[in-house]
């Protein structure tokens, strides 16, 4: 039977159909809806590309900076094996190794000479027991650190800078450089039958056979390249004493505290934050962390916290745990154990505040994932209990904060789910306690770098230059 084109009824199931000639197309609303969906999809796909490109670039830069830092370690290793240098050859003939001990306990202007004495500002004297020894963990210092003695004829800083500083910048790509730090322990030996202070001439010493080195891999952020000469000089200069001028490839010293956010009005006592402020507020013990006290350098120290930015690394130079003269206190067991520890800051915590901020104020920062601080068992290797004797309470539950007397946030000693007990003491009162940290952070402005005169305050801008940190141990003479 022949059907005309039109609606056809199916006798069995009642279905109706149209022939192809009369089949309808998409409506305008359907087309518009499809276009909108496709547009949203294209927008979402397009948004991925800038993020992926930026992430890829950041990963590439970080990988290259890490390789630069590792190459810096390869450069330093032979220097650690170099024969010691003789200073003042016509006088005392002080024989000084390139990477000498960095406890910086003995002031060089106070009777003792290098290399036993190497500090600009000495720490309170410790006692070495009769026919015994005292090992002092080294502070982490920069090459040519301002805390190191540098006066005629004992130019200890310049001795280091002369061999190292000029090679910070990568010759094949001057957008990148490396900044070295190191620490070396020292053991003082008392051969007499009576207790003696470490700066007594009868005390001998031995520096450790290995040194920890930490290297920042840095990338210029607010200019096109790093430079060793001309108008914009980025490496520390010889005989400048660094008392009036800050350089880009020179760590900035800051005071830091790391403790739970509950110390600053937060709610989680297992989440630690990092507080940053000026080293000039460390006014007890080894004042200012051992840094020079001149007016020009005070400007440098007060400006240093402004270099901090999200993503900056913070390396603990001196934990300032009191170095007790005997081993019967928890301090003696853990003093200096945080030196060389590496942290990285995340977002600034503007929702928190120090109820008693140091003079000049402070800023608070989250710790980057993978660089968090967690309570640690002390020298005895186990977490202690509140019922333990004080001399065993050596748990490390904060940085730059004394646990004697305990701060209000410490309470029962339970942090998260971990029971701890700590009587570790840090130099100073609660108002001026803190560890010394070293950062690179944001770059100096061109206006500041180009101004060769001392007496100006450093100004910082841009993203943090330190994109990686590498640490290892090398053998040294």
The DSSP bridge partners found for residue 469 are: 216
Beta strands in 159-240 (DSSP E): 176-183, 186-189, 196-197, 204-207, 210-219
What confidence score (pLDDT) does residue 403 get? 93
Domain count, the chain: 2
Q: Is residue 127 part of a domain?
A: yes
- HSE value, Cβ hemisphere, 13 Å, CA-based, for 183: 24
Q: Is residue 246 part of a domain?
A: no
DSSP annotation of 432: G
Residues in the chain: 477
Surface-to-core class of residue 53, CB atoms within 10 Å of its CB (0-12 exposed, 13-18 middle, 19+ buried):
exposed
Residues 230 and 283 in one domain: no
Q: Is 64 helix (H, G, I), strand (E, B) or coil?
A: helix
Q: Is residue 444 part of a domain?
A: no
Q: Is 241 helix (H, G, I), strand (E, B) or coil?
A: coil
What confidence score (pLDDT) does residue 276 get? 97
Instruction: Find, among 293, 306, 277, 179, the residue nearest to 243 by Cα.
Output: 293
Q: Say if CB 438 and CB 319 are below 8 A apart.
A: no
Instruction: Find, among 285, 290, 308, 422, the residue nearest to 362 by Cα.
Output: 308
Surface-to-core class of residue 117, CB atoms within 10 Å of its CB (0-12 exposed, 13-18 middle, 19+ buried):
buried
- HSE value, Cβ hemisphere, 13 Å, CA-based, for 269: 15
Residues 381 and 475 in one domain: no
Residues 309 and 234 in one domain: no
The DSSP bridge partners found for residue 284 are: none
The DSSP bridge partners found for residue 316 are: 437
Domain of 163 in residue numbering reads as: 20-241+467-477
Measured CA to CA, the distance from residue 61 to residue 47 in angstroms comes to: 22
Residues 146 and 32 in one domain: yes
Measured CA to CA, the distance from residue 373 to residue 371 in angstroms comes to: 7
Measured CA to CA, the distance from residue 274 to residue 261 in angstroms comes to: 9
Residues 283 and 416 in one domain: yes
What confidence score (pLDDT) does residue 297 get? 87
- Residue tagged 């670039």 (tokens): 57
Instruction: Find, among 432, 276, 439, the residue nearest to 364 by Cα.
Output: 276
Instruction: Find, among 185, 136, 141, 177, the residue nearest to 160 by Cα.
Output: 141
Residues 161 and 265 in one domain: no
Start-end of H helices in 127-261: 156-164
Residues 425 and 472 in one domain: no
Residues 232 and 165 in one domain: yes
The DSSP bridge partners found for residue 142 are: 181
Instruction: Find, among 213, 303, 287, 212, the residue nearest to 253 by Cα.
Output: 303
Q: Is residue 316 part of a domain?
A: yes
User: Which is it for the CA torsion 447, 453, 455, 458, positive or negative?
Assistant: positive
Residue 186: enclosing H or E segment and its boundaries? Answer: strand 186-189
Residues 366 and 275 in one domain: yes
Q: Say if CB 191 and CB 129 are below 8 A apart.
A: no
What confidence score (pLDDT) does residue 185 get? 96
Q: Is residue 474 part of a domain?
A: yes
Instruction: Find, among 145, 69, 71, 40, the residue nearest to 103 by Cα.
Output: 145
pLDDT tens over the chain, length 477 residues:
444 554 455 555 555 555 555 556 778 787 888 888 888 877 877 766 665 555 565 566 667 667 877 788 888 888 888 888 888 877 777 888 889 999 999 998 777 888 899 998 888 778 899 999 999 999 999 988 999 998 888 888 888 877 776 678 988 899 999 999 999 999 999 999 999 999 999 999 999 999 999 999 999 998 999 998 888 889 887 655 445 788 999 999 999 999 999 999 999 999 999 999 999 999 888 889 999 888 888 999 999 999 999 999 999 999 999 987 655 678 888 999 999 999 999 999 999 999 888 988 999 999 999 999 999 998 889 999 989 988 889 999 999 999 988 999 998 899 988 999 999 999 988 888 999 999 999 999 999 988 866 678 999 999 999 989 999 999 998
For every residue of 440-476, which 3-state class applies, written as one string?
CCEEECHHHHHCCCCCCCCCEEEEECEEEEEEEEEEC
Q: Is residue 451 part of a domain?
A: no
Q: Is residue 455 part of a domain?
A: no
Q: What is the DSSP string of 342-384?
A: EEEEEEE-TT---SSPPTT--EEEEEPTTS----B--TTSS--
Residues 327 and 259 in one domain: yes
Q: Is residue 445 part of a domain?
A: no
Instruction: Find, among 199, 76, 61, the residue nearest to 126 by Cα.
Output: 199
Residue 213 has φ and ψ, to the nearest 5°, of: -120, 145
Measured CA to CA, the distance from residue 311 to residue 267 in angstroms comes to: 24
Residues 197 and 224 in one domain: yes
Measured CA to CA, the distance from residue 179 to residue 176 in angstroms comes to: 10
Measured CA to CA, the distance from residue 86 to residue 369 in angstroms comes to: 46
- Residue tagged 């940085």 (tokens): 399
Q: Say if CB 422 and CB 329 are below 8 A apart.
A: no
Q: How many CB atoms lie within 10 A of CB 142?
A: 27
Residues 185 and 300 in one domain: no
């Amino acid at each position: 039977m022949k059907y005309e084109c039109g609606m056809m009824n199916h006798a069995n199931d009642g279905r109706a159909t149209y022939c192809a000639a009369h089949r309808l197309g998409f409506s305008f609303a359907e087309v518009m809806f499809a276009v909108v969906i496709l547009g949203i999809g294209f927008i979402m796909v397009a948004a991925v590309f800038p993020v992926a490109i930026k992430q890829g670039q950041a990963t590439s830069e970080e990988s290259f900076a890490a390789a630069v830092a590792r190459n810096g370690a390869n450069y330093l290793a032979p220097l650690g094996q170099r024969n010691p240098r003789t200073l003042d050859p016509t006088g005392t003939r002080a024989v000084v190794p390139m990477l000498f001990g960095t406890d910086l306990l003995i002031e060089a202007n106070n009777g003792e000479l290098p290399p036993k004495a190497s500090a600009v500002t000495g720490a309170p004297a410790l006692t070495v027991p009769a026919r015994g020894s005292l090992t002092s963990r080294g502070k982490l210092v920069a090459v040519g650190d301002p805390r190191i003695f540098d006066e005629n004829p004992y130019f200890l800083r310049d001795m280091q800078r002369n061999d190292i500083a000029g090679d910070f910048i990568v010759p094949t790509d001057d957008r990148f450089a490396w900044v070295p730090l190191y620490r070396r322990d020292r053991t003082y030996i008392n051969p007499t039958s009576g207790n003696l202070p470490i700066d007594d001439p009868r005390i001998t010493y031995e520096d450790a056979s290995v040194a920890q080195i930490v290297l920042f891999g840095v990338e210029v952020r607010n200019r096109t390249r790093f430079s060793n000469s001309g108008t914009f000089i980025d490496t520390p200069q010889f005989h400048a004493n660094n008392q009036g001028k800050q350089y880009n490839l020179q760590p900035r010293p800051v005071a830091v505290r790391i403790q739970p956010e509950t110390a600053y009005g937060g709610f989680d006592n297992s989440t630690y934050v990092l507080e940053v402020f000026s080293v000039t507020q460390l006014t007890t013990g080894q004042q200012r962390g051992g840094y020079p006290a001149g007016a020009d350098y005070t400007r440098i120290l007060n400006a240093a916290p402004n270099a901090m930015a999200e993503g900056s690394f913070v390396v603990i130079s001196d934990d300032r745990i009191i170095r007790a003269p005997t081993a019967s206190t928890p301090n003696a067991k853990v003093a200096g154990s945080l030196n060389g520890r590496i942290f990285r800051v995340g977002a600034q915590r503007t929702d928190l505040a120090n109820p008693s901020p140091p003079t000049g104020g402070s800023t608070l920062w989250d710790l980057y994932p993978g660089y968090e601080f967690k309570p640690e068992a002390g020298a005895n290797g186990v977490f202690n209990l509140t019922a333990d004797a004080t001399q065993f309470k050596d748990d490390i539950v904060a940085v730059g904060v004394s646990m004697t007397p305990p701060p209000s946030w410490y309470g029962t000693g339970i942090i998260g789910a971990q029971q701890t007990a700590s009587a570790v003491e840090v130099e100073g009162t609660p108002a001026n306690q803190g560890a010394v940290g070293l950062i690179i952070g944001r770059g100096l402005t061109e206006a500041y770098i180009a101004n060769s005169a001392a007496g100006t305050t450093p100004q910082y801008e841009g993203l943090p230059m330190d994109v990686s940190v590498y640490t290892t141990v090398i053998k040294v003479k």
